[in-house]
Structure 1
Amino acid sequence: MVIEEIPKTSKGEVRVGFHTHIRGLGLDEKGRAKKVADGLVGQEEAREALGLVVEMVREGRMAGRGVLIVGPPGTGKTALAIALAKELGEDTPFVALGGSEIMGSPRKSEVLMQAMRRAIGIRIKEKRKVYEGVVKNLKFKMVRHPYNPYVKVPREAIITLETEDDEKELRADEEIAYQLLQLGIRRGDVIAIDADTGRVYKIGRAKSKEEESSGIKLIKETELPKGPVFKETEVVHTLTLHDLDTYYAAQQAPLSLLAGFGPESVSDEVRKQVDKLVSEWLKEGKGELVPGVLFIDDAHMLDLEVFSFLSRAMEKEFAPIIVLATNRGMAKIRGTDEVAPHGMPLDMLDRLLIVRTRPYTRDEIEEIVRIRAEEEGVKLSEDAVKKLGEIGEQRSLRYAIHLMQPARIVAHRKGREEVKAEDVEEVEKKFVDVKDSVRYVEELKDKFL
């Protein structure tokens, strides 16, 4: 890891994921959902239900249970699962898998076991030398990916950290730059960078008058740090059980190779040793268990073997919160001729708290468009927002959001920063949605191979 203090000499655009704007479930003190909060819009019933799940997790009453989110496509099922993890804490592990990803593997049990271990964290406190402060400026130097010229990746980051008494500008290498992007670090965030390992910790957000007046708290607020930027302080970091598994497996690698295991294999014996070690840490107060969220989308694609594995996993001492999602109604249970709700065995459904999502209203779609536009750095005129809201209502929310970046490029070609409705209409003619694509295939089915 390389961190350099550099003489004083700003923020570049970076690619954002589809759910980077989500900070939590957006609930008030009584567990009621706000109309727009923490990056979420609408779905009040589902958010309040997941708020109750959060309380059950904190009280240790989720043993033997999981969560199933059901609803039509594009109603925010994945967003709600991410919000659940965020609500439990910024360092709560979140692992997402698709049903086809599991079923496509020849070692389904191993894929699930690794995913579960990645979704369980151990919070550890220790003294470390760090650069700590509030982010005053952040700029990334982006270069083309060595294997994909259409994707840009960070080569380094230039970051200015300040405290009440000090300020330093740092140049960090690409590994630290990746972490800054993954954590969504922006101006106003309070962070710490381990001087030895280069690990980045997101502590919270510096208090500001603007956020106090709005009453909306996106992430944990913290006071502006005092003293020098470079200091020795107590750092809280979270390791997953899988991190510990791979570490101890590496220590035993020569023996594993002799036994016929691959260099990256983690045996059941290693996992038992890690579980024993973690139990001792918990008893001695050296660590704190952080149950994360294992999210499996398209759960109707799973078979009886996987459902059986998940049922047993819910009963274990170290288990994440298992959240399944599906957009299917009645469907065959994979590998059988039996038809069941959501393509799941009834004994599995009995273990799940089922949460419904409903189609978004026109106003809600427009609000989501505004949030995504701000997150992606797209300036939309009000008529463009209305047009995208209309498209989202008539076609799909995802399709409407997909059109924002092409519309931005069209507006830029016309010499404008702001996207107007005419730009949206122009790109709408160039790209079709799923329904139009299906209709097109049906119309020309005799000409397709």
Structure 2
Amino acid sequence: RRAIGVRLIEEREVYEGEVVNIEIEKAPHPYNPYAQVALGAFLTLKTRQEEKSLEVGERVAAQLLRLNVRPGDVIEIDAETGHVTKLGRSKYAESKWKGEYRIGKLVEVPSGPVKKVKKTTHTVTLHDIDMANIRAGRLMLFREEEITNEIRAKVDEQIEELIKSKKAELVPGVLFIDEAHMLDIEAFSFLNRTLEQEFAPLLVLATNRAVTKIRGTDYKSPHGIPIDMLDRLLIAKTKIPPPEDVRKIIEIKAVADGIELSTEALDLLTEIGVKRSLRYAAQLLQPAKVVAEISGSNVVRPEHVKRVMGVYLDFRDSINYLNEELKKDPVLSEFLQ
């Protein structure tokens, strides 16, 4: 549900404009004689077509004081909640000192009436809405500690109603699962049910297995994924990169890591990437750079790569080494088996 977004569309009445003048009525703080609190405020807002004076209460005045709103600022006041947003500094506001507002965000003076209806949008995930329902339950003394199926069902009903009334839009995301063969049969069953729902993200699975057992069963399947799940998927064809692509990838990786390779070192790493694995060749770059620096060179050369290969093995060399050692010690071999 974190991969499914909901774009909420709201129309709200707001007062928006450039502050022409502002007067905040203040009184001493009841507990701190060195501080003051806002009791109310009188301000004038203007747009390109209109100018209007407003008298606001203690809550809005406190926000104006906290935001340090001054003449020349462009602000927005929500007519329903009283929330104040400082949009920036008017481009046409006068400044007493040169460069006074250089750091501030400069905006245009709004057009239209001061009081207007604005359409606002913000995007949240279904998981965020689920968690908001749990927090609401805690405030009402309900001891909900996890997202239950009932909560999810209620949230889905609310979202469906908002979509039908065109107050919200569904934004399907992408759920990417690497090493998909590590999922067990129960996880695949859950994904199957999820993909049948109306609110379903785009599912992308990645694996490097051929035919292997499905975890939690004794059955083998391509990629360790059940056949009924595979039938729902489009399988992207991949292939081992040719030598010229391996060379280009290593070259790009070296530039990104700030490693300068000689032509001979790049040829050697390309050969390693083709004969062994591209990942092993790429992992040799950083250690080879360290060896080159210890040797007093800023350029990685073939001897530096060979020195690192003598220390760090790839998985094939590691298996061969282990087999050779086990042949020397039959007791250890029998114990490990």
Asked if TM exceeds 0.5, the reply is yes
2:190 aligns to what?
309
- In structure 2, relative to structure 1, the CA distance for the partners of 1:282 and 1:229 (3 Å cut) is farther
In the alignment, the residues of structure 1 paired with residue 120 and residue 315 of structure 2 have an alpha-carbon distance, to the nearest angstrom, of 48
In the alignment, the residues of structure 2 paired with residue 434 and residue 236 of structure 1 have an alpha-carbon distance, to the nearest angstrom, of 52
Q: SS where residue 5 of structure 2 aligns?
A: strand
Q: SS where residue 334 of structure 1 aligns?
A: coil
Q: Shift of the alpha carbon at 1:364?
A: 0.9
Q: SS where residue 372 of structure 1 aligns?
A: helix
Q: SS where residue 317 of structure 1 aligns?
A: coil
Is it true that 1:386 corresponds to 2:271 in the alignment? no
In the alignment, the residues of structure 1 paired with residue 202 and residue 279 of structure 2 have an alpha-carbon distance, to the nearest angstrom, of 27
Q: Shift of the alpha carbon at 1:118?
A: 1.6
- In structure 2, relative to structure 1, the CA distance for the partners of 1:436 and 1:124 (3 Å cut) is farther
In the alignment, the residues of structure 1 paired with residue 4 and residue 303 of structure 2 have an alpha-carbon distance, to the nearest angstrom, of 48
- In structure 2, relative to structure 1, the CA distance for the partners of 1:351 and 1:383 (3 Å cut) is same
- In structure 2, relative to structure 1, the CA distance for the partners of 1:336 and 1:417 (3 Å cut) is same
In the alignment, the residues of structure 2 paired with residue 231 and residue 281 of structure 1 have an alpha-carbon distance, to the nearest angstrom, of 36
Q: Shift of the alpha carbon at 1:310?
A: 1.3
- In structure 2, relative to structure 1, the CA distance for the partners of 1:379 and 1:328 (3 Å cut) is same
Is it true that 1:296 corresponds to 2:177 in the alignment? yes
Q: For residues 266-297 of structure 1, give each alpha carbon's deviation from its aligned partner in whole angstroms, at most 9, with x where no partner exists.
A: 22233233333433444455544332222223
1:247 aligns to what?
132
Q: SS where residue 340 of structure 1 aligns?
A: strand
1:103 aligns to what?
none
Q: Shift of the alpha carbon at 1:355?
A: 1.6
Q: For residues 101-121 of structure 1, give each alpha carbon's deviation from its aligned partner in whole angstroms, at most 9, with x where no partner exists.
A: xxxxxxxxxxxxxxxx12222
2:105 aligns to what?
230
Structure 2 gap segments, 5+ residues each:
13-83, 85-101, 109-118
Is it true that 1:122 corresponds to 2:3 in the alignment? no
- In structure 2, relative to structure 1, the CA distance for the partners of 1:396 and 1:228 (3 Å cut) is same
- With structure 2 as the length reference, what TM-score do the two structures score? 0.59
Q: Shift of the alpha carbon at 1:415?
A: 3.2
Q: Which amino acid aligns with 1:438?
A: I
Alignment of 1:211-222 (within 5 A): none
Is it true that 1:328 corresponds to 2:213 in the alignment? no
In the alignment, the residues of structure 2 paired with residue 301 and residue 232 of structure 1 have an alpha-carbon distance, to the nearest angstrom, of 53
Q: For residues 161-209 of structure 1, give each alpha carbon's deviation from its aligned partner in whole angstroms, at most 9, with x where no partner exists.
A: xxxxxxxxxxxxxxxxxxxxxxxxxxxxxxxxxxx9xxxxxxxxxxxxx
In the alignment, the residues of structure 1 paired with residue 154 and residue 294 of structure 2 have an alpha-carbon distance, to the nearest angstrom, of 60
2:317 aligns to what?
436
Q: SS where residue 326 of structure 1 aligns?
A: coil
Q: Which amino acid aligns with 1:373?
A: A
In the alignment, the residues of structure 1 paired with residue 147 and residue 254 of structure 2 have an alpha-carbon distance, to the nearest angstrom, of 43
Q: SS where residue 353 of structure 1 aligns?
A: coil
Which of these residues, 415, 440, 443, is aligned with residue 296 of structure 2? 415
Which of these residues, 272, 281, 288, is aligned with residue 400 of structure 1? 281
Q: Which amino acid aligns with 1:251?
A: A
Q: Shift of the alpha carbon at 1:391?
A: 0.9
In the alignment, the residues of structure 2 paired with residue 271 and residue 297 of structure 1 have an alpha-carbon distance, to the nearest angstrom, of 26
Q: SS where residue 427 of structure 1 aligns?
A: helix
For these two proteins, the number of residue pairs brought into alignment is 232
- In structure 2, relative to structure 1, the CA distance for the partners of 1:269 and 1:390 (3 Å cut) is same
- In structure 2, relative to structure 1, the CA distance for the partners of 1:443 and 1:250 (3 Å cut) is farther
Q: SS where residue 251 of structure 1 aligns?
A: helix
Q: Shift of the alpha carbon at 1:417?
A: 3.2
Alignment of 1:39-50 (within 5 A): none
1:114 aligns to what?
none
Q: SS where residue 280 of structure 2 aligns?
A: helix
Q: Shift of the alpha carbon at 1:249?
A: 1.8
In the alignment, the residues of structure 2 paired with residue 237 and residue 384 of structure 1 have an alpha-carbon distance, to the nearest angstrom, of 52
Q: Shift of the alpha carbon at 1:386?
A: 1.9
- In structure 2, relative to structure 1, the CA distance for the partners of 1:125 and 1:422 (3 Å cut) is farther
Alignment of 1:6-405 (within 5 A): 117-123=1-7, 230=105, 238-253=123-138, 258=143, 261-262=144-145, 265-405=146-286
In the alignment, the residues of structure 2 paired with residue 283 and residue 400 of structure 1 have an alpha-carbon distance, to the nearest angstrom, of 54
Q: SS where residue 118 of structure 1 aligns?
A: coil
**Larger RCO: Structure 1 or Structure 2 (Cα < 8 Å, ≥ 6 residues apart)?**
1
Q: SS where residue 359 of structure 1 aligns?
A: coil
- In structure 2, relative to structure 1, the CA distance for the partners of 1:267 and 1:441 (3 Å cut) is same
Percent identity, aligned pairs only? 46
Q: Which amino acid aligns with 2:300?
A: V
Select the structure of larger CA radius of gyration: 2
In the alignment, the residues of structure 2 paired with residue 122 and residue 392 of structure 1 have an alpha-carbon distance, to the nearest angstrom, of 44
Q: Which amino acid aligns with 1:395?
A: R
Q: Which amino acid aligns with 1:369?
A: I
